[in-house]
């Protein structure tokens, strides 16, 4: 987790309430404010706040209408909503909870209660975020794991089909890795794995690129909107950087495949193409970059 502040969206049409909540929460969180339901929904989609503080009685859309829309949207349904309201009827509270509210803060509100209830939801959000991150991360290298890579591959594959753009795939394997472990020990082998991951990351800086540990001493890299020439150039940069690393001598082979997929294309063939190219590189004497014949 980084040190970036968690964010809270305040949705309230009363300036006094906004001012009070800002005074209570601004030291701990990044705050956003909207004053009506329609603009709140736009802000939720755009900002993806960690927690929403939502008034119930507003002109136009009520808070109940807003939370119903938030919970119907797959992109926003998991954002916790805390109602901040002067309504005290149990039926109103029950309705909000049925619609998916995480908690209630009643007006006039206590600063201590506001802080505690927001903090409780933020803690849950951060815990869930950490669990999700751990579930998609290789613990040794810090790269994405194979499960996450496969999920992103499918997304980028479908985007390539829609936009009619090329997509490239690198299959990377450390040469003679068993010999490295046998000669220098398994801790040194782990260092080689981490160094290899770092060299790949250093040369793939676009936010759309994805690097993963495929398993063992194999890594993969997904390069959306990249043609074969560009992918081969990146692969060669990675190969040279690793070959020149002097800490623990190691080299890699890289199999490169590139396609401009259509609805009849097969992801499995795409992966197999890179795998086949990797074996060609191994057969050619290792420390090589190859594309399918």
Q: What is the dihedral of CA 47, 48, 51, 56, to 10 degrees?
A: 70
Q: Helix 90-98 and helix 63-72: axis angle, to 10°?
A: 20
Q: Under a CB-based contact definition with an 8 Å cutoff, are residues 58 and 86 in contact?
A: no
- Kindly state the greatest CA–CA separation across the chain: 77
Contact 213, 154 (CB under 8 A): no
Q: Are 225 and 195 in contact (CB under 8 A)?
A: no
Report d(CA 70, CA 51) in Å as an integer.
Answer: 12
Per-residue H/E/C for 200-266? HHHHCCCCCCEEEEEECCEEEEEEECCCHHHHHHHHHHHHHHHHCCCCCCCCEEEEEEEECCCCCCC
Distance (Å, whole) CA 59 – CA 230: 54
Catalytic residues: 217
Contact yes or no for 101/87 (Cβ under 8 A): no
């Amino acid at each position: 987790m980084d040190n970036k502040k968690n964010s809270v969206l305040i949705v309230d049409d009363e300036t006094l309430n906004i001012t009070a909540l800002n005074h209570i929460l601004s030291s701990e969180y990044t705050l956003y404010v909207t004053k009506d339901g329609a603009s709140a929904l736009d802000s939720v989609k755009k900002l993806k706040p960690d927690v929403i503080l939502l008034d119930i009685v507003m002109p136009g859309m009520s808070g109940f209408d807003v939370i119903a829309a938030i919970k119907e949207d797959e992109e926003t349904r998991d954002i916790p909503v805390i109602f901040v309201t002067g309504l005290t009827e149990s039926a109103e509270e029950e309705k909000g909870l049925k619609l998916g509210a995480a908690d209630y803060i009643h007006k006039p509100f206590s600063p201590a209660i506001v802080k505690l209830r927001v903090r409780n939801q933020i803690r849950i959000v951060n815990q869930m975020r950490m669990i999700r991150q751990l579930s998609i991360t290789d613990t040794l290298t810090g790269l994405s794991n194979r499960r996450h890579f496969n999920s992103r591959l499918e997304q980028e594959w479908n985007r390539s089909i829609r936009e009619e753009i090329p997509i490239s795939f690198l299959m990377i394997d450390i040469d003679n890795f068993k010999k490295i472990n046998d000669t220098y020990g398994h801790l040194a082998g782990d260092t080689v794995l981490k160094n290899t991951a770092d060299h790949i990351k250093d040369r793939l800086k676009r936010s759309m690129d994805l690097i993963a540990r495929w398993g063992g001493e194999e890594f993969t890299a997904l390069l959306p909107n990249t043609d074969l020439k560009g992918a081969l150039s990146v692969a060669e940069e990675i190969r040279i950087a690793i070959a020149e690393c002097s800490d623990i001598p190691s080299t890699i082979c890289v199999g490169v495949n590139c396609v401009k997929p259509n609805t009849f294309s097969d992801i499995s063939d795409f992966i197999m193409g890179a795998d086949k190219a990797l074996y060609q590189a191994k057969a050619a004497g290792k420390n090589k970059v190859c594309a399918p014949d």
